[in-house]
Structure 1
């Protein structure tokens, strides 16, 4: 050991031991003032000092020497032997204090031991309980910090996992417009720049204002409209209620809209319906699109796994996701509690 156990003793622990033993004297005498008077102004001050000093020495010898050197190294028999020796030694030292003060004639050596030994055992048990409790709390705190870092890393990975997919789709849309409709390519590029700005600068926080996310979705939808066939019927309705005070994890809703445009039917009667409503603390979001008979399980890939995992991490127990697939129709319904705490608040309460 780099430092001897004696040097680990802290003077600010001394008031604790004084108050601890004083509490026992109060219980014994039944009167706080009488107990204080006995300790300060009678020969029993020596007896009190012996209890405080030698039990503290025994406690710290056990905590900072016996436990690290024997118990933590699996030397259980040696630890129990030295612990018993420490208890006996501290008890005998305390008993010696009784012979320095006047005592009733009916008390003898074994009477002194009967008082000192249980008190010493109680002090060492209390100290070990406090030590173990602190160790458990620190271990739990470290585990929760590691879990918090793991969750934050996983959330960032899931978010970044989405970005390349979105960028490729948007670039393809602009490339399509350049060749087919050069006159609207400039407008689509402006929309795309707004989308990039949102991704790079406005969605770096775990939660962002819902109105910004809605603006992002509207820009994306307008860009996709330019790429879609004129026969595609696109109906969009976002709530008219104020939403600036509501926050949401970025790109949670985007995944469903992007997949609807990606997997919409290629037939003439294709359609996409998107709606978002706010009812008290609940966000109600739905996306449905036409599909062909060959189109199946459009959400079975990385997109659905990604968004489900993010919902589990960011909104544990605060969402309901219903996905229905019938011939010619694919529908998702998401009910999200946007009034609850975010992931950082949940982790703080857990810690």
Structure 2
């Protein structure tokens, strides 16, 4: 840590900070005197309305000085740097010095009151010093222990809060990375599809370009929230499927069944479903003497979404789907673990002729969003 700059504002902050602690010191000493005297009224009279007030001030000032010296000097200089022996020696010395500085308060109290030590404390001056030391030392040890406990607890809570914030930021950063890791991959495939159609059928290319424009608008402007309407995600999927169907050969069968009643109030993280559909189109078989097919089925039962995406494959394409295409599947599964932990089920099966993804998810409705997020939809 750099050396602090003791400007006027710093002095003001420190002064205000210590003033803020005065009630604590008064309360602590009052409780200590109440325990020692066994009567809270007598303790209050002794502290504020008697010759013992001076003694009380000595306790307050020097114990507070010892505590702050320990917290703001000894701990940063020795304890936090692992110099335990030097810290313990310095701490013991600080406690003993604070105790010794408190003792003159007893004698000053008697002097101001115009009484002898025997009259005020019941013993002569020589004998009293041992009694005073035996009283001041445990009190100083207790307040040092209490202050360190409070400080350590406060630091632990602050560390926990910082750790939680860091974890939250880490998760949000990872989620954003995973989401945008997908986008360039999809854009690349879509552009290739349009390029293919330009040479094959210009009219189809024009239609696909319009679809692609809608898809791009969705990616750039409509899916920046953590949760979006399910209806928007479905519309995005339909545009993507239509775009892919335009560039497929005639021997490709694409069957889509979407049961989506009243989806406007349900929310889903963007691009969760997209990976399964894109993976099917990317790795569907290219047989010339056998059927090529993609089946997409979506069902919604209240807030339970079930999606099944399957496609035909060639016997030698299994490893390609699971490894190269599996990059997208691993991506979406990681996002699901981060966003929907314990709320989804994902099953992937494959054989020599087909590849199937079964996905179930418990969706969130707008009513279940926190108030701040609900306002964002207005």
- TM-score in same-fold range (> 0.5): yes
Asked if residue 159 in structure 1 is aligned to residue 159 in structure 2, the reply is no
User: Could you tell me which residue of structure 2 aligns to residue 88 of structure 1?
Assistant: 96
Describe the shift of the 1:167–1:73 C-alpha distance in structure 2 as closer, same or farther (beyond 3 A). Answer: closer
Offset from partner CA, 1:194-213 (integer Å, 9 cap, x none): 00000111112222222111
The structure 2 residue matched to 1:197, chosen from 200, 217, 223, is: 217
Describe the shift of the 1:260–1:65 C-alpha distance in structure 2 as closer, same or farther (beyond 3 A). Answer: same
User: Could you tell me which residue of structure 1 aligns to residue 192 of structure 2?
Assistant: 172
Aligned length: 342
User: Could you tell me which residue of structure 2 aligns to residue 348 of structure 1?
Assistant: none
Describe the shift of the 1:265–1:126 C-alpha distance in structure 2 as closer, same or farther (beyond 3 A). Answer: same
Q: Distance in 2 between matches of 1:189 and 1:181?
A: 12
Contact 2:297/2:309 (CA < 8 Å) preserved in 1? yes
Equivalent positions of 1:51-200 (< 5 A) are 51-99=59-107, 100-101=109-110, 102-105=120-123, 108-200=128-220
Q: TM-score when scaled to structure 1?
A: 0.87
Gaps of 5+ in 1: 346-351
Secondary structure (helix, strand or coil) at the match of 1:295 reads helix
User: Could you tell me which residue of structure 2 aligns to residue 299 of structure 1?
Assistant: 322
User: Could you tell me which residue of structure 1 aligns to residue 306 of structure 2?
Assistant: 284
Q: Distance in 1 between matches of 2:38 and 2:258?
A: 73
Equivalent positions of 1:262-273 (< 5 A) are 262-267=282-287, 268-273=290-295
Contact 1:282/1:339 (CA < 8 Å) preserved in 2? no
Q: Distance in 2 between matches of 1:78 and 1:282?
A: 63
Gaps of 5+ in 2: 111-119, 373-378
Give the CA deviation at 1:30: 4.8
The structure 1 residue matched to 2:343, chosen from 313, 318, 323, is: 318
Asked if residue 45 in structure 1 is aligned to residue 45 in structure 2, the reply is no
Q: Distance in 1 between matches of 2:92 and 2:180?
A: 60
Q: Distance in 2 between matches of 1:192 and 1:46?
A: 84
Q: Distance in 1 between matches of 2:81 and 2:243?
A: 67
Describe the shift of the 1:135–1:201 C-alpha distance in structure 2 as closer, same or farther (beyond 3 A). Answer: same
Contact 2:268/2:364 (CA < 8 Å) preserved in 1? no
Q: TM-score when scaled to structure 2?
A: 0.81
Offset from partner CA, 1:20-73 (integer Å, 9 cap, x none): 222333444555444333322222322322221111011011112222233334
Contact 1:26/1:35 (CA < 8 Å) preserved in 2? yes
Give the CA deviation at 1:191: 0.8
Offset from partner CA, 1:82-129 (integer Å, 9 cap, x none): 211211111122233233242244983333222211111111112122
